[in-house]
Amino acid sequence: MRWVVLLMVAFSALLFSSEVVLTSVGAADISFNGFPVTMELNFWNIKSYEGETWLKFDGEKVEFYADLYNIVLQNPDSWVHGYPEIYYGYKPWASHNSGVEFLPVKVKDLPDFYVTLDYSIWYENNLPINLAMETWITKSPDQTSVSSGDAEIMVWFYNNVLMPGGQKVDEFTTTVEINGVKQEAKWDVYFAPWSWDYLAFRLTTPMKEGKVKFNVKDFVQKAAEVVKKHSTRIDNFEELYFCVWEIGTEFGDPNTTTAKFGWTFKDFFVEVVK
């Protein structure tokens, strides 16, 4: 997730045989189970820190680790320090496409878009954190930031202390395959009219680990209903562009000066059904 601070990152990495490793803020393109993905060590709201961190792809899985202390924030009032992540498609804030030809695509033309991920996260000392996925819905397909008339749609599978912004405006139920079993999953829906329209779906029974498969289009269609009801700045949602699918962990709050946590992403798949 980005707010109003933009970190310019270099697409570079350390190469160790088949491994790709980032040890500071930056990004690298990888092929994850044959899908073009960019992994980004994204501390967008951190001015400085001490400690160790890395983001690693070993050819089969992506792992993140951080043991940070003496954290100084760019914006001390923000509830988020960063969002170490992977993404599939075009990320406006990075002005970069991971190599996905069909993205960005107009919302009205978005196909059924199934994402599968096997994940696990860990953290110490009751760290504010989530496991969140998201997209940006923009007025044009090549934006380098977002603003009024654009939208952010987040899908939170896990949260601790950290809560979505804005106000709860609705509830939503959709089918999600969890550990191989199709289930009806329940979500709280949040909305905020910030510099852009913000929407978040929070799983009411948070999952710290598991393998999930779901149709991204289900959330986009529900978001269209929420925008129609609550937004005063978007009246052509179907004509906007769906840009990307990002997966990562937001972490921190204004009082967080240390953070020790990590995650593992494996069995990542995308299935597009036109």
Q: What is the mean pLDDT of the chain?
A: 94
pLDDT score at 17:
43
Quote the pLDDT of residue 11.
42
Residues 6+ apart with CB under 8 A from 185: 173, 174, 175, 176, 178, 203, 205, 214
Question: Can you give the pLDDT at residue 86?
Answer: 98
Q: Is the pLDDT at 13 greater than 80, yes or no?
A: no
Q: What is the pLDDT of residues 53-73, one digit of tens each?
A: 999 999 999 999 999 999 999
pLDDT confidence of residue 168: 98
CB neighbour list of residue 255: distance below 8 Å, 6 or more residues apart? none
| pLDDT for position 18 | 72
Concatenating the DSSP letter of every residue in the chain gives ---S------B--EEETTEEEE-SSEEEEEEETTEEEEEEE--TTEEEEEEEEEEEE-SS-EEEEEEEEEEEESSTT-S--B--EEEEEEEGGGTEE-S-TT-SEEGGGPPEEEEEEEEEEEESTT--EEEEEEEEEESSTT-SS--TT-EEEEEEEEEES---SSEEEEEEEEEEEETTEEEEEEEEEEEEESSSEEEEEEESS--SEEEEEEEHHHHHHHHHHHHHHH-SS-S-GGGSEE-EEEEE--B--TT---EEEEEEEEEEEEEEE-
Contacts of 156 (CB under 8 A, 6+ apart): 130, 131, 132, 164, 200, 201, 202, 203, 206
Q: Report pLDDT digits (tens) over 88-129.
A: 999 999 999 999 999 999 999 999 999 999 999 999 999 999
**Phi, psi angles (nearest 5°) of residue 228:** -60, -35
When pLDDT is cut at 50, 70 and 90, the band that residue 178 belongs to is: very high
CATH number of 34-272: 2.60.120.180
Task: For residues 190-205, give the mean pLDDT.
Answer: 98
pLDDT band at 9 (very low <50, low <70, confident <90, very high): very low
- State how far the Cα of 85 lies from the Cα of 64, in Å rounded to an integer: 9
What was the pLDDT predicted at 8?
A: 32
Query: Is residue 10 over pLDDT 80?
Result: no
Please choose, from the candidates 46, 49, 65, 199, the residue with its C-alpha nearest in 3D space to the C-alpha of residue 123.
65
Is the pLDDT higher at 180 or at 12? 180
Per-residue pLDDT at 4: 32
Domain coordinates in residue numbering, the chain: 34-272
pLDDT, tens digit (0-9, with 9 covering 90-100), for 209-251: 999 999 999 999 999 999 999 999 999 999 999 999 999 999 9
In this prediction, residue 246 carries a pLDDT of: 99
Question: What is the mean pLDDT of the segment spanning 153-171?
Answer: 98
Distance CA 247, CA 226 (A): 22
Average pLDDT of the segment spanning 190-218? 98
| pLDDT over 60 (residue 3) | no
Q: What is the pLDDT of residue 6?
A: 31
What pairing do the DSSP bridges indicate for beta strands 151-160 and 197-203? parallel
